[in-house]
Structure 1
Amino acid sequence: MVGPIGNKFAPIGDPGRQAYEDSLQVFEEVIQAACQQVGIEPVRADQIAVAGEITDQVFRHLIEDDVVIADVSGGNPNVMYELGLRHTTGKLTIQIGEFGQLPFDVNTIRTIQFSRSPRGLIDARNQLERALQVGLLEGPDLLAVTRIFREAQEGAADIELSTPDVTVETSDDDAPGLLDTMDDVERRLAAMADNADEIAAAIEIIGAVTESAGSEVQKAAQSGASNSVRLSLVAKYASDIREPVEKLESQSSEFAEHMESINDGVLALLKMIQSSSPEDRPEGWEAFLDQLISMAESSREGMEGLNTFGSAAEGLGSLSRQLRGPGRKINAAVNNMRKAIATIDSWDRAARSIRKPSEV
């Protein structure tokens, strides 16, 4: 387990002492408790008893251990460095973090968010336990950063935007030209914007239905209704969310497909714009960069809502088998968007690096 360690010897009230106590509380009440339920023993960096260089021991755990749990609350630099190293392995890695303290760099990767209250820590423990059960059974999802790292190791082509001398040559007379590529990219970006609107609409509907159904189930529980009555309410809820959940999954899949189909074109255009002087750049290049930046911002906003649904969806199947299908579809949508947004964020960074800060 990696997380902010703080300083347990600092005076009470000192930020270092508070960081230590906060981290220890999360470790004991969330991580240790969840791990014990699935039969694994968590180890904190400051609890490694073997003599030797602490950084060497930590790195070995990061590379060799089957599971790493990272508390990213506050974006501690050491934690972020260790998390980046771990992501190169492709092994099971689970992130947790206190709500409102998540660093921007990891907000596209599913993170178990918690509030520092008795109920909030219990919910986080239960979510972590489910994540461990699923991860140990099914294995980890391959993150974009892991895939890119492996491709680099295997000698894949370098796609860094800082190499303007790279040119693409083709002898195919039917190969698209610059304007053709820009037109195709712009059309698909517009389609992605439509997908994003549909995704937002589906999320809104699911949220409203969920709130209404939750209220009905709570009333039934308070009135002492039988399990059959509550199951009928769950069945109605499953029926009511079926259509918006299917739309959510299909639209997120289309969004990811559009993104994948134009990624090479977007990278080529960004490289060309970066390597050209402003007067030699194609007409509309500024609008193109603005479109990428806007797309990234709206996608991140949508991902915040999807992350909330993703965490909730993990527990749907345990309530009733009728909710397992919707739960899987919601998880599929979350995974589609997470992978897509990792790529969109790279477009955003490149576009902002070309734009002057005052114009972004």
Structure 2
Amino acid sequence: MIGPIGNKFAPIGDLGRQVYEDSLQVFEEVIQAACQQVGIDPIRADQIAVAGEITEQVFRHIYEDDVVIADVSGGNPNVLYELGLRHTTGKLTIQIGEFGQLPFDVNTIRTIQFSRSPRGLIDARTQLERALQAGMHDGQDPLTATRVLQEVRSGKSDVTLPSLEVAMEGEVEEETPGLLERMDEVETGMTSMTEDANRITEAIEEIGMVTESAGSEMTKASQSGAANSTRLALVAKYASEIKDPVEKLETSSNDFASHMESINDGVLAMLQVIQSSTPEDRPEGSDDFLDQLIAMAESSRDGMEGLNSFGEAAEGMGSLSRQLRGPGKKIGNAIANMRKAMASIDAWERTARSIGNKVDD
């Protein structure tokens, strides 16, 4: 297994310590658990017991092992380098990564995405187990880069691989956004996310009021011994009244997740710049930016708690009446959108707090 290692000896709150704990959680709860189900004994680089140069040992595992699982969360440079080496072998390689933290370099390759929650990790474990079973039984289709490289090596292709200097010239460098562009993108995106969050809150309040009123009417009908047709009419009325706020909730949550994903790279880049700078040399507005990230995480978490209150009710809607299955599904979609977004926002907050703690110390 290749993935970010972090630093288990770093103080609590330090980014290196957080990377270590996050990576270990994925290894133990997802990778190790899935591998055990298919008879594989996974090993991390920091768990190799053989004495010797650890770099050589890691490379031997990359080239010789039948299966490699790569956790690409956060786009760790060492992980991507090792993954690139592995791709030259054509052997079974499976990627997993936390939603919102996939590097653009590898996000076109099929990747098992997960949210860092108990349910999200369980789902990832199940998907990984299935991918292992399928890959070990049927193998995997070679990636384009792997296939072309093997053809070049065997002399079956006329392709000439460009040099690194040629590949890095011209428009790629010119089009790469700088810090100011990143800051502008993030500022615009966070403003949009705030507007999305406000609409989500409004939708939740509207659904709550309609639900409370409908519940009161249903209670009265039950106490009076009303016919089942009367209850069905009340359910139809309720389904009609919550249609618009539920659609507003689903759309706003989808927009929130989309805006989050669009600025994730920019937020991570800015956090990296701030973290690598001394307090005196940090870009202007860094403290406000960190505070804004923390405030957004806290307010988003509060909104998520309110949205979760609809979760169990939404699951039971479909069993009550088919007229409520549509609204119930939309509420479920909204919850899923927000959970995915919160995985990245929580990561922003952890890093922002760790930077703030260093300054306080």
Q: TM-score range by the shorter chain?
A: 0.5 to 0.7
Q: How does 1:256-335 map to 2 (within 5 A)?
A: 256-335=257-336
Deviation at 1:342, TM superposition (A): 0.8
Q: Which residue does 1:44 correspond to in 2?
A: none
Letter of the 2:304 partner, please give it: M
Following the alignment from structure 1 to structure 2, what is the Cα–Cα distance between the partners of residues 178 and 332? 34
Q: CA 1:338 to 1:209, structure 2 compared with 1: closer, same or farther past 3 Å? A: same
The TM-score normalised by the length of structure 2 is: 0.54
Aligned-pair RMSD on alpha carbons?
Answer: 3.3
Deviations 1:151-205 (A, max 9, x none): xxxxxxxxxxxxxxxxx99843233211111111011111101111110111011
Contact 2:204 2:306 in 1 (8 A): yes
Pair 1:242 & 2:243 matched: yes
Q: CA 1:316 to 1:110, structure 2 compared with 1: closer, same or farther past 3 Å? A: farther
Q: Which residue does 1:225 correspond to in 2?
A: 226
The TM-score normalised by the length of structure 1 is: 0.54
Q: Work out which of the two has the higher radius of gyration on C-alpha atoms and give 1 or 2.
A: 2
Letter of the 2:332 partner, please give it: N
Deviations 1:102-150 (A, max 9, x none): xxxxx98487xxxxxxxxxxxxxxxxxxxxxxx9xxxx7559x98xxx9
Contact 1:108 1:338 in 2 (8 A): no
Deviation at 1:279, TM superposition (A): 2.3
Letter of the 2:37 partner, please give it: E
Contact 1:252 1:336 in 2 (8 A): yes
Q: CA 1:60 to 1:286, structure 2 compared with 1: closer, same or farther past 3 Å? A: closer
Is there any run of 5+ residues in structure 2 with no aligned partner, and where?
Answer: 1-31, 39-94, 97-114, 133-167
Deviation at 1:312, TM superposition (A): 0.9
Task: Among all aligned residue pairs of Structure 1 and Structure 2, give the percentage whose two residues are the same amino acid.
Answer: 60
Contact 2:196 2:256 in 1 (8 A): yes
Q: CA 1:61 to 1:354, structure 2 compared with 1: closer, same or farther past 3 Å? A: closer
Letter of the 1:64 partner, please give it: Q
Deviation at 1:303, TM superposition (A): 0.6
Letter of the 1:345 partner, please give it: D
Pair 1:64 & 2:37 matched: yes
Q: How does 1:164-243 map to 2 (within 5 A)?
A: 171-243=172-244
Following the alignment from structure 2 to structure 1, what is the Cα–Cα distance between the partners of residues 319 and 179? 52
Q: Which residue does 1:10 correspond to in 2?
A: none
Q: CA 1:176 to 1:316, structure 2 compared with 1: closer, same or farther past 3 Å? A: same
Following the alignment from structure 2 to structure 1, what is the Cα–Cα distance between the partners of residues 315 and 291? 36
Kindly tell me the number of residue pairs found equivalent between the two proteins: 216
Is there any run of 5+ residues in structure 1 with no aligned partner, and where?
Answer: 1-58, 66-88, 91-106, 112-134, 151-167
Local SS of the residue matching 1:355: helix
Contact 1:108 1:300 in 2 (8 A): no
Following the alignment from structure 2 to structure 1, what is the Cα–Cα distance between the partners of residues 198 and 236? 28
Following the alignment from structure 2 to structure 1, what is the Cα–Cα distance between the partners of residues 352 and 345? 10
Local SS of the residue matching 2:174: coil
